[in-house]
Structure 1
Amino acid sequence: MTDITAPVPARSSALAVDTYRAIWRWHFYAGLIAVPFMILLAVTGSLYLFRDEIDGTVFAHRNVVAAQAEAPLPPSRLVEAAEATLPGSTLSAYREPSGPTASARLSFETEAGTVYAFVDPYTGAVLGSVAKADEFNEVVRKLHSLAYFGPYANRVIEAMAGFAIILVVSGLYLWWPRRQSGGVVTVRGTPSKRIFWRDTHAVTGAFAGVLIAFLALSGLPWSSFWGGKLTEIATATGTGYPAALWDNVPTSGEHAEHVMETVGWTMESSPMPMSHAMAMAPIGLDRAVGIARERGMAPGFEVTPPADAKGVYSAAVFPDDLAEARTIHIDQYSGQPIVDISYADYGSLSRLTELGINIHMGQEFGLANQLLMLATCLAIILSSVAALVMWLKRRPSGRMGVPPYPTSRRVYGALWAMAVVFGVLFPLSGLLIVAMIAVDVLVIRQVAPLRRVFS
């Protein structure tokens, strides 16, 4: 959603002019579709970047405790205290305090769904409870992925991620200096002028473009279709989790994403092992947590108890420092670790993907990472709002103000070729591109009333 403010040089070929017009029109349509979603993603993403800070301030009453000199209570005591406030519930996960002033978070399955209980690890006092569906960061996460609108809404977000990359590429082409004196690194005019909003949109998008494309690409592994195909590639090429660790381990047929409360991208498709020393008495939660501590898991790890007699205790942590990411499956009878896997054990594709995800979530490089991703989200919002204002100022009354068609149809061959390339890389986005071009060329251009409205 840009604007031609710099005249194309007189010597430029007709094909160059037509190419500019075609990409401008394509950029406009893609922006018109994607901008509302991009603003939603940027706003919710900005909030999620500071989830720990929000928990430690707005929700400090349930997340922050006073440090004590004495040792924390055993996890089983904390479970008993929480169960007393949630009768009839079943423990589904225990999250170790992440530091001396952090509470323990216990997940329980109830008739109404999963409930989080927050317990002071020193006194056993229950600080509060909240349904997982109502927990602030969970609400933000579901808005970010459109999970509230059903399983197929995630595919809309996936398509919009591809559109974001298309907007960056096409936007850079339109922004590229063509002998104009402004609108490249400076903003001309005042907010009352269309040129001000055009330049704000173009300059912001150009300078933040690479980071915007990174956010879109690094968010795709969590998507249903594209992310699923990436998992298949990692598994088929041996560049995901080290499947050989399960060669001599009996598995249940379940996958980690369906059993564990918290699981990373690499591990979500890994099989769940089974306990096999069933003649012995179960070790219990306290011993399972102790084993995870003894094996050096980073603070804040979460333990999922076995769901049945063949299940295992699964301890997992995905901290800010990827090097400390770890998953351990423990035999519930012998206490022996069946599988112990860290980030260093991941294949090359998984390590690269997890690094991208960690940076995307603002975790890998501390506050600097958070601020860089926040600046990118703010750039998305500013560029999107500027695009909308610019369009409204340029749009003729009663019409959409769509950029003009190319004068020659030769350029459409290049457009279809680009659509095919993007369709291969981002299939859902590619389908929308094909539909967009087809409707524009075969419907809008051929029907006179529509041609006028969209002019």
Structure 2
Amino acid sequence: MSRSAPAKTVSATRSADLYRAVWRWHFYAGLLVLPFMITLAITGALYLFRDEIDGIMHRDLLRVAVVEGVERVAPETMVASALAAVPGQAVKYTDPRIENASAEITVAADDGARRAVYVDPYTGNVLGSLPDRGTVAWTIRYLHSLKFFGTVARGAIEIAAGWSILLVATGIYLWWPRRAGLGGVLTVRGAPRNRMFWRDTHAVLGIVVGSVIVFLAITGMPWSNVWGGKVNEWANGNNYGYPDGVRVNVPMSQEKLADKGLTSWSLEQAQVPQSAVPTTEHNHAEHDHGQPMAAPAPSDGAFATSDIGLNSAVATFEKLGLHSGFAVSIPSTPTGVFTGSVYPDDLSQQRVVHLDRYSGNPLLDMRYTDYGPLGRWLEFGINVHMGQEFGLANQLFLLAACMGIILLAVSAGIMWWKRRPAGSLGVPAMPSDPKIFRGLIALLAIGGIIFPLVGLSLIVMLAFDLLVMRSIPNRGMA
């Protein structure tokens, strides 16, 4: 008895120290992450219903009356109408996604700004215009990613994503049942006026939405500046930014697909091929469509007489089977190409096709199945993250998860406020044996190696805890 009692005491002390160490870092993670999580949950929940929101807020621009028995106006005619309303150079044409949708013409206006001009495809009339990516949904998206606030803010999002994984991992340890009963494990005890109610709500809700938080953090990482950019380069292989195994046997420009507009994550680094400029001796040869070819001239927003033109390019993309709602980037240089791209909810229909502007021949045809294994997995995760992969069920599930995340953050704040000693920040007490931190720090180091920016923030936080927090008198929460 005399020998076993001290051993049990030492074991209990170590267990208590480990619990305190984990709790302390769970507290720090919460301080850093919860404000971001609330913002991300609110904007993310709104963005899940971006089509519905824009359909209401911009109905006069996005929706038209279907005219039965009337063919749509030719794309070049719609572009001409758009340029008459907003002088400049047309850079992109987006085909109507559904029967009652308008066409969108992106114009680089003479004042240097880009505008999205909406045209009725049945009449050719201009419905109005907005700044490019100026819809309510795009505003929500930029708020969600903090793109409005610059590079530093976007770096903070990357750090918050890494810390949220730490928050869930430490939360699972704290939640893990250590005594009989389901209170605080699967059930909520007490009433809202009691701290126990909020503690149990936080614990039970955390274990329910924790896996979703980790999934959203990981699938959101591809958009990050540091980690996302480096993994993007690695996942895309070394062949002009296209995944390994994709044959690229045509001249390539230095322009990246992301420079032409919205594209999938896996193709952001992909370089755009070049059209073969007809030589002088072929200027009088017959064009594929039976028209004489003239010497190419630099584009000034109009279509060179030697290229196939937007009408033929759109017809070719339709013949190739691009999903409805595809966008066509219009070439602006003699070696430019017509690029048709579409990223519908159905991943299998994602596609990018480049056409030679003179011959109309496909130069490169990229599909979802051509992505590398990592690219396919990440694209699937991104699609689910955006609420697209499984339709309305996907949207509703993530909406419930976002509401759960907000309640999780609120319950954490209320629980801390009720337990916090008066006049103190209420940081959980330090373990009696600081050596207990060694194992925890090793685990943090592994996460820091995977996510370098997160690792740097962990080092800063550890130094802050060791050098600052320990020197401040604190009546820590027991």
Distance 2:66 2:134 in 1: 28
Contact 2:73–2:122 (CA under 8 A) maintained in structure 1: yes
Residues 108-163 of structure 1: CA deviation (Å, up to 9, x unaligned): 12225221111111111222211135321111111111111112321111111111
Instruction: Output the CA distance in 1 between the equivalents of 2:461 and 2:475.
Output: 16
Q: Which residue of 1 aligns with 2:235?
A: 234
Shift of 1:336: 0.5
Q: Which residue of 2 aligns with 1:451?
A: 473
CA distance in 1, matches of 2:208, 2:10: 29
Matched, 1:435 2:460: yes
Q: Distance in 2 between matches of 1:77 and 1:338?
A: 26
Offset at 1:236? 4.3
Give secondary structure in 1 for the equivalent of 2:255: strand
Aligned to 2:40: 41
- State the Cα deviation string for residues 236-262 of structure 1 (Å, max 9, x = none): 488x8445545321011121112x222
Q: Secondary structure at the match of 1:162?
A: helix
Q: Which residue of 2 aligns with 1:4?
A: none
After TM superposition, the structure 1 = structure 2 runs for residues 231-380 of structure 1, keeping only pairs within 5 Å, are: 231-236=232-237, 241-243=242-244, 245=246, 247-258=248-259, 260-279=260-279, 280=293, 281-380=306-405
| Cα distance in structure 2, aligned partners of 1:83 and 1:201 | 56
Identity fraction in percent: 46
Q: Please identify, of 295-304 and 77-86, the stretch whose mean Cα deviation from structure 2 is larger.
A: 77-86
Larger radius of gyration: 2
Q: Is residue 320–residue 363 contact of structure 1 (8 Å, CA) maintained in 2?
A: yes
Deviations 1:45-80 (A, max 9, x none): 111111111122232221111222211111111112
TM-score (norm 1): 0.93
Matched-pair contact (CA < 8 Å) for 1:92–1:261: no
Structure 2: 5+ residue runs without aligned partners?
A: 1-7, 280-292, 294-305
Instruction: Provide the secondary structure at the position in 1 that maps to 2:265.
Output: coil
Instruction: Give the partner amino acid of 2:89.
Output: T
Offset of residue 453 of structure 1: 7.5
Larger deviation: 175-184 or 359-368? 175-184
Contact 2:238 2:244 in 1 (8 A): no
1:75 maps to a residue whose letter is: P
2: distance between equivalents of 1:112 and 1:192?
A: 58
Preserved contact between residue 72 and residue 121 of structure 2 (Cα < 8 Å): yes
Matched, 1:171 2:193: no
TM-score normalised to the size of structure 2? 0.88
In the alignment, the residues of structure 1 paired with residue 313 and residue 381 of structure 2 have an alpha-carbon distance, to the nearest angstrom, of 31
For 2:180 and 2:106, the matched residues in 1 are separated by 59
Indicate the SS of the match to 2:72. Answer: coil
CA contact (8 A) 2:236 2:266 kept: no
Counterpart-to-counterpart distance in 1, 2:244 and 2:252? 12
Superposed displacement of residue 196, structure 1 = 1.5
- For 1:95 and 1:291, the matched residues in 2 are separated by 15
- Which residue pairs with 2:59 in the alignment? 60
Contact 1:44 1:140 (C-alpha < 8 Å) held by counterparts: yes
- 1:386 paired residue number: 411
SS at match of 1:452: coil
Q: For 1:84 and 1:275, how far apart are their aligned partners in 2?
A: 28
Q: 1:237 to 1:23 in 2, by over 3 A?
A: farther
1:417-428 to structure 2, matched below 5 A, reads: 417-428=442-453
- The aligned counterpart of 2:212 is 211
Q: Aligned equivalents of 1:85 and 1:18: distance in 2? A: 70
CA offset digits 1:17-62 (Å, max 9, x no partner): 1111001010001111111111111111111111111122232221
Give the equivalent residue in structure 1 for 2:436: 411
1:244 and 1:283 map into 2 onto residues whose CA distance is 30
CA contact (8 A) 1:241 1:345 kept: no
2:12 counterpart letter in structure 1: S
Give the aligned CA root-mean-square deviation in angstroms: 1.9
| Conserved? CA contact 2:117–2:126, under 8 Å | yes
Change (3 A) 1:133 1:297: closer
Structure 1 stretches of 4+ with a deviation exceeding 6 A read none
For 1:264, the aligned partner's letter is S
Cα distance in 2, alignment partners of residues 355 and 103 from structure 1: 29
Distance in 2, Cα, partners of 1:394 & 1:237: 55
SS at match of 1:134: coil
**CA 21–180 in structure 1, closer or farther in 2 if over 3 Å, else same:** farther
Question: Could you say which residue in structure 1 is the equivalent of 2:290?
Answer: none
Of 289-298 and 65-74, more deviation after overlay is shown by 65-74
Q: Is the 8 A contact 1:255 1:271 kept in 2?
A: yes
- Give, in angstroms, the shift of residue 93 of structure 1: 1.3
